[in-house]
Amino acid sequence: MIHSELDAAGVQGEKLRAAYQRCRALNAAHGKTFFLATRLLSPRQRPAVHALYGFARRADDVLDEFDDRTTDERAAELQLLADALFARLVQNRLAGDDPVLDAVVDTARNYQLDWHLFDDFLASMRMDLSITDYPDRAALDRYMYGSAEVIGLQMLPVLGTVVPREEAAPHAAALGKAFQLTNFLRDIDEDLTRGRVYLPADELAAHGVDRELLLWCQRHRRTDPRLRSALIEQHARTRTIYAHAELGIPMLHPHSRPCIRAALTLYSEILDRIEEINYEVFSERATVSNVRRLQVASRGLVNSWRARARRGEV
C-alpha cells in the first residue's frame, strides 16, 4: 500500500521513499484517529500528510517524552531541529541526517509551504519549555496559533480548495484549534503531570478553580464541582469552534471532504465522551471506541471512493 501511495505522489529515490515511510509509521503508531482519517484521502495526498505529521511528532517528542533530559537539553535539541529545517528549506543546504526532515522539506517544496508556518510552530514548541500556565484566552490563543492553527494551514494546500485558499484558511485554522482544545480537555491529568495547565487561568478562576484545586483533583482522582462547572464552559467554547471549522468543509476539494469530515466527527465525539463520563477526566480517559472509528471510517471510505470515481481517480 505504501509503495502505491509513494508512486501516486511521484516520490522517487530510495532514500526519500524511506523517509516518507518513516513518517507514515510515526502517524500509524501515534496518531491513530488521524491516521485512520488519512486513509480517506487519495493515495497521492497521503505521503504529504504523513510528512507533516511526522515533523510535528518529531518536535513534540523533544518536549513531552518522559525521560531525564533537562530543560536546557530539550531547548538545545529543539534548536538543532529548527536550524536543520531552516538550512534545508530556506538556505537549500543539507544539515544533519534526519529522514523526517527529508520528507517534510520535500512536501513543503511540492506544496509551496512558507517557512513562517514552521517557524510559528517551533515558536510555540519553545513556549512549552518555559510556560506552564496561560493567564487568559489571548495568551492561550497565541500559543495555539503556532501549535495547532498552523497545522491546519499547512494541510490546506495538500487538501485543495474550490474557493480561494484565503477564504478557507480561517476554517482550516479553526479545525486545528478545535482538535487541540479537545486534547486539552481530555488530557488535563497528563498535562498536569508535566506541570502544565492549558486552560485560561482567569476563566478557571471565575469558577473558583486554581492550580491547587487541580492538583487536589489529580491526587484524589475526582472532579470537584467547581472544576466541573469550568469544564462545562470550556466544553461549550470548543463546540463553537468546531461549528466554525465545519463551515470550511464544503470549501475543500471534494476528494478531501470525507477525510476532514471523519476527523472532525471522531474528534468532536471525544467531547461527547467527556460529557458522558460527567467530566471525570482524572479517573477515566475519554476515547472513541474502535467500533465507532470503523463506522465513521467506513462511511467516509464510501464517500471518498465516490468522489474520486466521479473524477476518474479510482
> For 81, what's the count of Cα atoms within 13 Å in the CB-facing half-sphere?
27
C-alpha–C-alpha distance, residues 116 and 197, integer Å: 27
Give the residue extent of every domain in the chain.
Answer: 1-113, 131-313
Q: Which amino acid belongs to residue 67?
A: D
Tell me if the domain spanning 131-313 has CATH number 1.10.600.10. Answer: yes
Architecture of the 1-113 domain: Orthogonal Bundle (1.10)
**Contact (CB, 8 A) for 163 and 253:** no
**Non-local CB neighbours of 100 within 8 Å, separated by 6+ positions:** 19, 22, 23, 26, 51, 54, 55, 58
Q: What was the pLDDT predicted at 40?
A: 86
Instruction: Quote the CA–CA distance of 126 and 21 in Å, as a whole number.
Output: 28
Residue 224 burial (CB count, 10 A): 17
- Low-confidence stretches of the chain (pLDDT < 70) are 1, 66, 95, 300-314
> Which of 62, 202, 212 has its CA nearest to residue 128?
62
Taking the CB of residue 65, how many other CB atoms lie within 10 A of it? Answer: 9
Backbone angles phi, psi at 289, to 5 degrees: -65, 155
pTM: 0.90
Amino acid occupying residue 149: E
CB atoms within 10 A of CB 93: 8
Query: Are 1-113 and 131-313 in the same CATH fold?
Result: yes
C-alpha cell at 271: 467531547
Q: Residue 86: which region, alpha, beta or left (left: phi > 0; alpha: psi -120 to 50)?
A: alpha
What pLDDT is recorded for position 174? 98
User: pLDDT at position 309, please?
Assistant: 47
Q: What pLDDT is stored for residue 66 in this prediction?
A: 65
> What pLDDT score does 280 carry?
97
Q: How far apart, in Å, are the Cα atoms of 102 and each of 31, 38, 108, 144? A: 20, 20, 10, 26
Apex 168 CA angle, 175 and 241, nearest 5: 30
Tell me which residue has cell 490563543: 141
Confidence at residue 168, expressed as pLDDT on a 0 to 100 scale: 98
| Cα 78 from Cα 61, distance rounded (Å) | 10
Check residue 61 and give its pLDDT.
87
